[in-house]
Amino acid sequence: MLRSNILKSSKRLLATTAEQSTVNSNTEKTWSSGSKSDSFKAGKNYREALLNGVPKNGPPSLRSRKYKLRYTSPVGINEAFDEAYEFLKTKSQNKYELLSKETDSDKQHQLKIEAEINNPEVKFNFEFNEKLENDQRYIDYTQPVYRELKKKHWENYGQMLLMQRLESLAVIPDTLATLEPKAEVSLKFSNHTGVNRWIEPGMLLSSNSTTYSPTIKIQEFDNVDISNELYTVLIVNPDVPDIEKNSYKTQLQWGLSNVKLDFNDNVISPKKLLEDKSINEIIDYSPPVPEKNLPNQRFVTWVFRQNNVQLNEKISTRDFDIREFVEQKKLLPIGAHVWRSSWDLNVANVRDLYGLPNGTVFQKVRGKHPLN
Amino acid sequence: MSLLTGNIKVWRFQSFLKSTSLNNINNNSTGNINGININQIRTATKKVAGSRTNMRDSAGRRLGAKVAENEPVKIGQILYRQRGTKFYPGENASIGKDHTIFAMEPGYVRFYMDPFHPKRKFIGIALKSELRLPTPHFEPRVRRLGYLPIEDKSKAQFEENNLSRKNHLLKPQILQDLKQRQINRDVLLDNYSQKLSKLIPNLSNEDNKLLSKRYLLIKTHLQNGSKLIESQSIATFIYLQNIKLNLQQQQNSQIENKFDELKQNYLELIKLGDLSISFDNKFNLIPYLSENDRLLKIKELDSQLNSIFNDKNSNRNKIKEQIKSLIYNNNLCTNTERKLLISKYLKTILSEPIGLVNKSDKKQSSISKRWNYVKNKVDIIARSKESFAFK
Amino acid sequence: MNTINSKIPKFQSSIIQQIRGIRTKKSRVATVSTGTQRVITQLSVISGRKKYPRLLKLSNEDRIRHETINKAWSLYQKDLRNERNEQLELQYNSILNALNDLKQVDIELFKVANKKEKGKRFPIDLRIPVDFPANKVWHYEVKSNKK
């Protein structure tokens, strides 16, 4: 915010020039009395500056001393903020009073969101902390307000990206008819390669990285009874060549059911698979082993709510009709993810490891013979 | 009535003219009959030259449909020639630069409308004769594979080894890199196994190998930012998956029992390992140290540094060297902790109020200038010897 | 304009150092007198580039504080709007009820009350309810000063 002397002399620019902030640290600000959780409080380094104004030695969010000293708050922001805070606080107080009388679960959920959504500390916590791998001290997804904020954040980019990939890669309608996304599904392969990176939907992955089963994170946003809800995860490949029919068929690569999740602890990781005995593996993981000279194969992860019904079935054959399965088991699709694989030099090693037969090599040029 | 008589008069006059001109035709082209002068004109009966827009019509361009509904077509066959897009290409059809519609797949021709584009007409190819177009919106697409497997084994082998130019050129480098990485890994593995045999003396060779491999994998995960517990479980998971796959391939009759036995052994082994081994800050193996113990050690280091730093009797330069070596050679502190220690004990100038003197003061040993952002001017800062921790 | 032109600095050729057509040494400051600098400053202040204030650069804390203020302001405006709308609705309903009553009591009076007066855009005889009503409601004889 360093300005030259020329600019400082201009009256027009006075609107942007600085004010020496006066910190009244003796008045402790608290949000309405209903707001009890510690996750509604900003980190201790920032709380003071956020609620009582940026102190003389600069905002704590700036790291460098140079920029801290240069920084000046806009004129009148402290007074305006104090007024605004009081105003929003009374509104929140009203919501908490309504909440104490409310009995309907959905309305309670809505009121809990409305009571905290304008809390500047909540906003600060959400904006400036890691959202995907969240620290529960700052972003606690058991609180409806943080789920609501995350949902909006996801709808702004992640959800749109996912739907665009699902449509343009024709995942819908090739696997299931359509998807109304309700939960965010993230996926990564943390395995022998050591790579620790969430995968963007539609990415083309090497056969080496997909040798072992993926880690899947399912973030629920809705007001579901999470302690009783069970989830099913299916990974299907709709691009397995069917030479007899001169077409493609769908295979089930991995299937899990009876997965219990939590709003915060919601990763299906190797750790969870080793420890959680209640998870039913419908079929064990089979890695992508695409054939040479065929187009890229899509590997689609579908996540379903089981509606509190146990699903203890095991499947031995990989050939799979996902539409029929979903209809039979009355599963509700809530999220999806997709990655792609193509043949590479390492496919033979993966086949070796899993004891799979050698891959078929196809002719380079696509034939002209019609579909029966 | 008057109109009729008038017409008769004209007709009479014309017939009179005709008769007189015919009589005189041989003598003279112009005649003077009863005082009326007549000029004879012969108009052209043949056209001499064409007009500007004449003769400019081209031959018919043979536009229109080249196939009928439900007619079987091959790939690339032309379905419709047109100017502009009277028809749009539908499923399995495409459009050329002169808007010619042609088939992309072998199948049966369909002329159809699509509710998603109510004003357009489409020509598409149904892959089967019984299929209608457009395919229902929520149904899976009907797809033709088209690729045939290479039956001849040697040819198949050849095709499998056949790489694109780019990959072919890259391959030697990739193999070289892989080899180098394997060598590096082997060196580390060797290092770990030696360390393990020291830390856990009565460990069999096999177990030593297993554990050192495990710690190598954990190390990579830690380096990439995973948490220790997570990395440990990933290593366990991958080992168990590997032995499971190995047993499945052996087609042993007692796979389950064997697997359980191996699993049990491994779990016991790693329990022993994880309780006697930790990583230091450079990912070397050290005897087990819980997080609390580590923090205690860092605290000890801090107090040790503090006492050295405040030692008035020794040479300051020597003290600086000592502190440096203590901080940089410590293998337990994280990067942040190290930075904190450096800023605490290795700063030349002590924090501000210490040793600040008045400009005119004679005790001053140095003067420096600094920009004051608040007052927008240069501050002159005078320091006495006290404010310098080291020279 | 002439005065300004005369004050625009003339650079001394010896100070401007050029290598292959590119100036390598800035010497403008040295050649400009304080008076000229004042003119330059004034010109630059009225230039188009500075017709609007600079964007505020806010720290994370101040950004959230700013957003909170905006949110509170918009909610406050919303409350005012709702209050006004409610008031209007109540007024409308009471007029409606009164007219309905009138219709039942005396249809003739109702018709008179709802008679359309052609050419009348705003009822001049409308009186605002005040604590001390004027004796003379409208000064019909007042004319504008224009001739």
Rounded Cα gap, residues A362 and A370, in angstroms: 17
CA distance to partner chain A, nearest, from residue B224 (Å): 6
| Summary mean pLDDT of chain A | 90
Is any Cβ of chain B less than 8 angstroms from the Cβ of A242? yes
Please report whether residue B35 resides in a domain.
no
C70-108 residue pLDDT tens: 999 999 999 999 999 999 999 999 999 999 999 999 999
Dump strand ranges (E) for B34-186.
36-38, 64-65, 72-73, 78-81, 88-89, 93-95, 101-103, 107-114, 117-126
Q: How far apart are the first and last CA of chain A?
A: 73
- Residue B88 forms beta bridges with which residues? B122
Q: Which two tokens stand for residue A130?
A: 């890691």
Element (H, E) at B381: strand B377-383
Domain match, A213 and A244 both:
yes
Establish if A106 belongs to a structural domain: yes
Per-residue pLDDT of chain B (391 residues; tens, 9 = 90+): 444 444 444 444 454 445 444 444 444 444 555 666 777 878 877 777 767 777 778 899 999 999 999 999 999 999 999 999 999 999 999 999 999 999 999 999 999 999 999 999 999 999 999 999 999 999 999 999 999 999 999 999 999 999 999 999 999 999 999 999 999 999 999 999 999 999 998 889 999 999 999 999 999 999 998 999 999 999 999 999 999 999 988 876 788 888 999 999 999 999 999 899 999 999 999 999 999 999 999 999 999 999 998 888 888 888 999 999 999 999 999 999 999 999 889 988 888 778 788 877 766 678 888 888 778 889 888 888 888 888 7
Q: Over chain C, what HEC string results?
A: CHHHHHHCCCCCCCCCCEECCEECCCCHHHHCCHHHHHHHHHHHHCCHHHCCCCCCCCCHHHHHHHHHHHHHHHHHHHHHHHHHHHHHHHHHHHHHHHHHHHHHHCHHHHHHHCCCCCCCCCCCCCCCCCCCCCCCCCCCCCCCCCC
Integer Cα distance of B271 and B276 in angstroms: 9
Q: Can you give the pLDDT at residue B5? A: 45
Q: Are residues B299 and B311 in the same domain?
A: yes
Which residues of chain B are within 8 Å of residue A177 when distances are taken between CB atoms? 138-139
For the cut 80, the answer to whether the pLDDT of residue A49 exceeds it is yes
Residue B172, H or E segment: helix B165-199
Q: CA A108 to CA A114: how far, in whole Å?
A: 10
Q: Tell me: the pLDDT tens digits for C17-70? A: 566 666 666 555 557 788 888 898 888 888 877 777 767 789 999 999 999 999
CB hemisphere CA count around B363 (13 angstroms):
9
Same domain assignment for residues B78 and B107:
yes
Strands (E) across chain A are located at: 183-188, 203-205, 215-220, 231-242, 247-259, 267-268, 280-283, 297-305, 332-341
Whether C6 has a pLDDT exceeding 50, the answer reads no
Within a domain: A363: no
Question: What integer pLDDT is reported at residue B40 of this predicted model?
Answer: 81
Which pLDDT does position B222 carry in this prediction?
94
Split into its structural domains, chain A has a count of 2
Mean of pLDDT values over C8-25: 55
- Does C67 contact A123 at a Cβ distance shorter than 8 Å? yes
Angstrom distances, CA of residue A255 to CA of A202, A251, A303, C74: 20, 11, 10, 49
Same domain, A44 and A170: no
A17 touches chain C (CB under 8 A): no
Task: Find the CB nearest C60 among A61, A74, A85.
Answer: A61
Instruction: Look at residue B383 in the predicted model and tell me its pLDDT.
Output: 85
Q: Determine, yes or no, domain membership for B152.
A: no
Same domain flag for A167 and A269: yes
Mean pLDDT in residue range A57-61: 92
pLDDT at B203: 87
Q: Using one digit for the tens of pLDDT, what is the confidence trace for A165-204?
A: 999 999 999 999 999 999 999 999 989 998 999 999 999 9
Cα(C102)–Cα(A279) distance, integer angstroms: 75
Same domain, A208 and A291: yes
Q: Is A361 inside a domain boundary?
A: no
Minimal CA separation from B328 to chain A, in Å:
24
Find out whether B305 and B326 touch, Cβ atoms under 8 Å.
Answer: yes
Residues B281 and B313 occupy one common structural domain:
no
**B175 and B274 inside one domain:** yes
Q: Are residues B200 and B97 in the same domain?
A: no
Q: For residue A197, what is the DSSP state?
A: -
What is the DSSP-derived secondary structure letter of residue B39? -
Length of chain A: 372
Asked if A77 lies within 8 A of C65 by C-beta distance, the reply is: yes
A45 & A72 share domain: yes
Which of A29, A31, A123 is best to mutate for the C interface (most C CBs within 10 A)?
A123
Of A16, A71, A88, the CB nearest to C72: A88
How far is residue B301's CA from residue A197's CA, in Å, rounded to a whole number?
36
Residue-wise over A331-351: b if at least 16 C-beta within 10 A, else e?
A: bebbbbbbbbbbbebebbebb
Residue A25 pLDDT more than 60?
no
Please provide the DSSP assignment of A69-112 as one string.
HH--BPTTHHHHHHHHHHHHHHHHHHHHHHHHH---HHHHHHHH
CB A53 within 8 A of CB A22: yes
In chain B, helix, strand, coil percent, each to 5? Answer: 45, 15, 40
**Tokens, residue B115:** 């509710």
- Last-in-domain residue among A145, A176, A204: A145
Q: Is residue B33 part of a domain?
A: no
Residue for token pair 């309700």: A182
Band of residue C9 on the pLDDT scale cut at 50, 70, 90: very low
B282 & B297 share domain: no
Q: By residue range, what is the domain housing residue A62?
A: 6-145
B7-B8-B10-B11 Cα dihedral, nearest 10 degrees: 120
A309 and A253 within one domain = yes
Q: Are residues B296 and B281 in the same domain?
A: no
Select from A363, A365, A366 the residue whose CB has the most chain B CBs within 10 Å, as the one to mutate to test that interface: A363
Contact yes or no for A270 and B233 at CB 8 A? yes
Establish if A371 belongs to a structural domain.
Answer: no
Q: What CA–CA distance (Å, rounded) separates C29 from B195?
A: 68
**Chain-centroid distance, C-alpha B267:** 40
Does residue C41 sit at the A interface (CB-CB below 8 Å)?
Answer: yes
For residues A30 and A62, membership in a common domain is answered with yes
What CATH number should be reported for the domain holding residue A213?
A: 3.90.280.10
Residues B253 and B303 in one domain: no
The CATH number linked to A25 is 1.20.58.1180
Whether A114 and A208 map to the same domain: the answer is: no
Q: How far apart are CA C27 and CA C13, in angstroms?
A: 10
Cβ within 8 Å of A, C 125-144: none
Nearest to B65 by CA among B54, B73, B55: B73
Asked if residue B230 and residue B309 are part of one domain, the reply reads no
Residues contacting B346, CB < 8 A, separation 6+? B320, B323, B324, B327
Q: Which candidate, A281, A336, A330, A280, places its Cα nearest to that of A308?
A: A330
Asked whether the beta carbons of residue B127 and residue A370 sit closer than 8 angstroms, the reply is yes
Q: Are residues B208 and B282 in the same domain?
A: yes
Q: Which amino acid is at A31?
A: W
pLDDT digits (tens, 9 = 90+) for A234-257: 999 999 999 999 999 999 999 999
Residue B96: inside a domain, yes or no? yes
Is A121 found in the same domain as A172? no
| B298 and B235 fall within a common domain | no
Beta strands, E only, B25-157: 31-33, 36-38, 64-65, 72-73, 78-81, 88-89, 93-95, 101-103, 107-114, 117-126
The answer to whether residue B13 is domain-embedded is no
Q: Smallest CA–CA separation between A27 and chain C, in Å? A: 17
Among the candidates A145, A180, A208, a domain finishes at A145
The pLDDT value recorded for residue B38 is 74
Determine, yes or no, domain membership for A83. yes
* Residue at a domain's end among A95, A113, A145: A145
- Enter the tokens of residue A59: 């905002």
Q: What are phi and psi of A53, to 5 degrees?
A: 100, 155
**pTM (2 decimals)?**
0.80
Domain assignment present for residue B146? The answer is no
Query: Is B45 part of a structural domain of the chain?
Result: no
Work out how many domains chain B is built from and give that number. Answer: 4
Q: Domain range for residue B334?
A: 291-345
Please indicate, yes or no, if residue B242 is contained in any of the structural domains: yes
In this structure, are B275 and B242 located in the same domain? yes
Do A184 and A212 lie in a common domain?
yes
Residue A370 lies in a domain: no
The answer, yes or no, to whether residue A2 has pLDDT greater than 60, is: no
ipTM above 0.90, yes or no: no
Distance CA(A272)–CA(A258), nearest Å, equals: 13
Q: Which of A10-14, A80-84, A342-346, C114-118 is least confident?
A: A10-14
Checking if the pLDDT of A43 tops 80, the result is: yes
- The pLDDT score that the predictor gives to residue B361 is 73
- Does any CB of chain C come closer than 8 Å to the CB of residue A76? no
Sheet holding B356-357, edge to edge: B356-357, B377-383, B366-372
DSSP label at B149?
A: B
Other chains touching A, judged by 3 or more CB pairs under 8 Å: B, C
* Environment class of B298 (CB within 10 Å of its CB; exposed 0-12, middle 13-18, buried 19+): middle
Query: What number of residues does chain B have?
Result: 391
Q: Is B302 helix (H, G, I), strand (E, B) or coil?
A: helix
Best CA proximity match to B188, nearest among B287, B284, B288, B329 = B284
Closest Cβ–Cβ partner in A170, A241, A354 for B145: A241
Q: Are residues A17 and A134 in the same domain?
A: yes
Both A124 and A169 in one domain: the answer is no
